[in-house]
């Protein structure tokens, strides 16, 4: 799924960032879901600095590798890396422009285990015959622009000063603004089904 968050970098690290749009409640529901879905299976991030043979079993992949296991029927993602870190999350892909992925993440590192929703803009590749996509570019939805002199963040229109979305349109507006300022997007590609 993202520069490593996503753009889906480990979600724990992602939520450590202070300039992301977040919400304690869902902005998008099942009624907002897009008909186009990612193909189930293992998705690999494209990283020019991490070269290895993806045909090897995941257990033999290097520490720099990052991949997702997608279960579209359960709307679940499992983000893993070669260092043994893993994070499970539920998601909704919301239709519209741009397409938005809303991810529910639980902060298991803290005793209260608070949950947050974070958002990513995505540009899926061409649909396949089965109605899925097998490649995608993604980027995080930021809260706003940071003032270099004060480090204060001026929230994008549609977000509150606390970086909370006012609506789904607010998330999309912030996603478009974030895309234009993003240092890089993260590219993901479907690799293979999950071995049973």
Q: What does 112-173 look like in DSSP terms, one character per residue?
A: T--EEEEEEEEEE----TTSEESEEEEEE-B-EEE-TTT--EEEPTTB-TTS-BSSHHHHHH
User: In this structure, are residues 103 and 117 in contact, taking their beta carbons and an 8 Å threshold?
Assistant: yes
Average pLDDT over residues 23-34: 95
Average pLDDT over residues 136-161: 91
Portion of the chain with pLDDT greater than 70, in percent: 85
Nearest to 82 by CA among 135, 40, 134, 45: 45
Distance CA 139, CA 127 (A): 20
Average pLDDT over residues 175-182: 85
pLDDT tens for 62-100 read 988 889 999 888 788 888 777 777 778 899 999 999 999
Residue 90: its H or E element: strand 86-94
Give the count of beta carbons closer than 10 Å to the beta carbon of residue 130.
9
Strand partners, 165: 159
pLDDT tens for 108-118 read 555 556 788 99
pLDDT at 11 over 60: no
Q: What is the pTM assigned to this prediction?
A: 0.85
């Amino acid at each position: 799924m993202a520069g490593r968050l996503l753009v889906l970098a480990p979600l724990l690290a992602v939520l450590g960032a202070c300039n992301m749009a977040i919400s304690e409640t869902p902005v998008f529901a099942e009624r907002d879901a897009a008909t186009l879905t990612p193909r189930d299976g293992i998705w690999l991030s494209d990283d020019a600095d991490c070269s290895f043979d993806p045909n090897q079993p995941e257990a033999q992949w290097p520490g720099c590798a990052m991949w997702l296991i997608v279960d579209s029927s359960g709307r679940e993602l499992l983000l893993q890396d070669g260092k043994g870190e893993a994070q499970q999350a539920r998601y909704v892909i919301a239709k519209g422009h741009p397409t938005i992925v809303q991810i529910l993440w639980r902060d298991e590192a803290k005793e209260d285990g608070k949950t947050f929703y974070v958002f990513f803009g995505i540009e899926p590749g061409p649909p396949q015959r089965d109605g899925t996509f097998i490649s995608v570019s993604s980027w995080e939805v930021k809260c706003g622009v940071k003032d270099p002199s004060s480090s204060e963040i001026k929230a994008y229109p549609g977000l509150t000063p606390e970086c909370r979305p006012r609506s789904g349109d607010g998330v999309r507006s912030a996603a478009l603004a974030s895309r234009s300022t993003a240092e890089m997007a993260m590219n993901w590609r479907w690799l293979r089904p999950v071995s049973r």
